[in-house]
Structure 1
Amino acid sequence: MVTKKAEASDPPKSSSRAIWKGAISFGLVHVPVSLHSATDEQEVDFDWLDKRTMDPVGYKRINKRTGKEIDKDHIVKGVKLEGDTYVVLSDDEIKAAYPKRTQTIAIETFVKATDVSFVYTERPYYLAPEGKADRVYALLREALTEGGVIGIARFVLHNKEHLAALIPAGPALMLGTLRWANEIRSPDALNLPKEGVTANSLKPAELKMALQLIAEMTSAWKPAQFKDDFTSAIRALIQKKAKAGKTATVEPFEEALDLSGSNVIDLSELLRQSLGTKSKRKGGVAEAPAKKATTKKPTPKKAEPAKKIASSANRENRENRAKRAA
């Protein structure tokens, strides 16, 4: 079944189901809170199918030695040592090792939001006050807003410790998980141009035009004006194929880039042509080229059930989440 994607002007509501419950701690102050998902995946979810029979290919928990499927209740978490030796840890043992850490979002410092590079950001969550914590929740939120800072904290979720940023966002406090510094790979192995204008023989006129083009394309950040056009195009293709049969003529939604040309680029001319095109853009985002007309008609074939053609997005991510939840 193909579900209609929510419009940007009508965002999905946050989940009322709490993922985690505990407290924010800073100094001697504790704010009882619950953690809720702040995102709703909207991309197309492709199911795996056997192309010979169109039968669904499901995800199963298989014992690698016997090849037999096993029940979730029989699965435990083990850390492999040398050879075939494992140390098995239960959820209760893991929680007992750091009981306080699994119950608190411990703020260790406050920093300016601009000091945290987007490179470290991972996933956002909402925090809601629990019990009678409304007043102290509001106090922390307003203090962060007035101070122009965010809290850097650590907490444990799904038996994994996370670094996180506590951020005021309108009436809500949000917790954005951050990547640890040692998880970000160094770019040293990449063949990158050296830093600096002179090191790259950039002409003053080129830099001036680049700055002018950036100024033309700069606007206020309005996230609602950006939509997932790729997913919309895929959904439209699914609907078209469901109506026309297994095969259909695919019309491109945009022109493909020609990457076969020379590597020698007249940078000045490209910048010059780009300037003054703001009127062709909406909010700094270039409009997609109009689709070319075509007279070629799809060859009619026996229609296949839509449920075998269209399905649900990113199966691999869903399976990884299932493994973590197990």
Structure 2
Amino acid sequence: MARPVWTGVLSFGLVTVPVALYTATSSHDVRFHQLERGTSDRVRNRRVNERTGKEVGFAEIVKGYEVAEGEYVIVEPEELEQISPGRSRTIDIAGFVDLSDVDPIFFDKTYYLGPRGTEYQKIYALLVEALARSERVGLAMFAMRGKEYLTAVRSEQGMLELHTMHFADEVRDARTEVGDLPEKVKLSTQEIKTAEQLIGMLAIEWKPEDWHDTYEEQVKKLIEDKLAGREIAVSTGPAPEATNVIDLMDALRRSVEGARKPADEGASEQPKKPAGRTTPARTGRSPKAAGGKKTTSTKAAGGTSTPKRVSATGKRQLSQLTKTELYERATDLDIPGRSTMTRDQLQHALEAAGRPHRAAS
């Protein structure tokens, strides 16, 4: 069981329940050290006076707020501690709002909120059930680690979650930040209906376990290959071309046809599958055949490698796969440039890999 990052009391009205806060998420970044090229010497960052070039001890560093170029108001650590909000002992819910009224852009980090002791489970369960039925979240100000947060307490899957939130003045205005946003664009009824049809045909069920960090996998594979002394073949795929406004309707129709075609062609051979994901998602790679790990080199140990082929049945099913599944197949076939390809480019590359090469005349 994980250790809580905070313990205190959750209160709403005259009802209070002791609770504990737990971190709900974690990152899986691949971490690197900085080394000087050609050596194994670590390169470390140091605090250096930019005028003298001398290293400055941590105790000699103060904070400065720049009011004009080169002019600072100096603030000592003790002065900040005096006005710091400290650590809240209570999450005091000030009011409840409809969850649908809160734009997701305001949510920041998520924590699990659990009861601190079995004797408080009934009060905790009451708040869980009441929030779930009302579809509302409780808003509260909360201080932790020297910082004050706006927080939202919500019911999710039989327990409480606490979300730290951004304040209104921390959310940037989209019209100010993003250029070339459409103001008034004339869209035909047929374009809208066809786009809606395509969205409906590509609808899938939300399964978080189907999605994973392919870049992290590639970095780890690169490290494994370099550690094993295998040749690394680096290739970039073609950049995707933007859809021309004149060809928009044609692109929509071909997209709909591509989404519909596999089900129509396979109707006589297999039962018709529902729209959306029609093949089970793979949470891991399929086992490789005996003979060692796959290599990114153009030649395998012991001779020239033989390109794999995609069967005719496999080609008909490609458009039914997600981009993640297509990428996994492209990795199995060692298709160059796959990491930069769009979903359509991955499909075309897999289909091309399955076509027999013409003999030279």
Q: Structure 1 length as normaliser, TM-score? A: 0.70
Q: Which amino acid in the other structure matches residue 107 of structure 1? A: I
Q: Within 5 Å, which residues of 2 pair with 1:31-180?
A: 31-60=17-46, 67-68=54-55, 70=57, 74=59, 78=63, 80=65, 83-90=71-78, 93-94=82-83, 98=85, 102-131=88-117, 132-180=119-167
1:133 positional shift? 2.8
**Corresponding residue for 1:226?**
211
d(CA) in 2 for partners of 1:109, 1:186:
26
**Corresponding residue for 1:270?**
251
Describe the superposition over 1:64-101 as per-residue Cα deviations: whole angstroms up to 9, x where unpaired.
67733635xx4887464764542334476345xx56x7
Q: Which amino acid in the other structure matches residue 48 of structure 1? A: Q
Question: After alignment, is 61-70 or 150-159 more displaced?
Answer: 61-70
Q: Which amino acid in the other structure matches residue 290 of structure 1? A: A
Does the aligned pair in 1 maintain the 2:106–2:166 contact within 8 Å? yes
Question: Is 1:248 aligned to 2:232, yes or no?
Answer: yes
1:208 positional shift? 0.5
Decide whether aligned partners of structure 1 residues 93 and 130 sit closer, same or farther in structure 2, where only a CA change above 3 A counts.
farther
d(CA) in 1 for partners of 2:25, 2:209:
14
d(CA) in 2 for partners of 1:211, 1:53:
57
Decide whether aligned partners of structure 1 residues 294 and 257 sit closer, same or farther in structure 2, where only a CA change above 3 A counts.
closer
Q: Which runs of 5 or more structure 1 residues have no equivalent in the other structure? A: 1-14, 296-326
Pick the aligned partner of 2:172 from 185, 203, 208: 185
1:38 positional shift? 0.8
d(CA) in 2 for partners of 1:78, 1:294:
52
1:123 positional shift? 1.1
Q: Which runs of 5 or more structure 2 residues have no equivalent in the other structure? A: 260-275, 279-318, 337-361
d(CA) in 1 for partners of 2:143, 2:225:
45
SS at match of 2:204: coil
Decide whether aligned partners of structure 1 residues 293 and 52 sit closer, same or farther in structure 2, where only a CA change above 3 A counts.
closer
d(CA) in 2 for partners of 1:206, 1:262:
14
Does the aligned pair in 1 maintain the 2:10–2:91 contact within 8 Å? yes
d(CA) in 2 for partners of 1:63, 1:41:
34
1:150 positional shift? 1.7
Does the aligned pair in 2 maintain the 1:94–1:159 contact within 8 Å? no
d(CA) in 1 for partners of 2:47, 2:182:
49
Does the aligned pair in 1 maintain the 2:64–2:72 contact within 8 Å? no
Does the aligned pair in 1 maintain the 2:110–2:164 contact within 8 Å? yes
d(CA) in 1 for partners of 2:115, 2:335:
57
Alignment length (residue pairs): 269
Question: Is 1:281 aligned to 2:281, yes or no?
Answer: no
* RMSD over equivalenced CA pairs, Å: 3.2
SS at match of 2:112: strand
Describe the superposition over 1:261-296 as per-residue Cα deviations: whole angstroms up to 9, x where unpaired.
78555111221122152562347967336256579x
Q: Within 5 Å, which residues of 2 pair with 1:194-233?
A: 194-195=182-183, 199-233=184-218
- RCO higher in 1 or 2 (8 Å CA, sep ≥ 6)? 1
Describe the superposition over 1:127-155 as per-residue Cα deviations: whole angstroms up to 9, x where unpaired.
12224432222211111112222222221
Does the aligned pair in 2 maintain the 1:112–1:150 contact within 8 Å? yes
Aligned-pair identity in percent equals 31
Q: Structure 2 length as normaliser, TM-score? A: 0.64
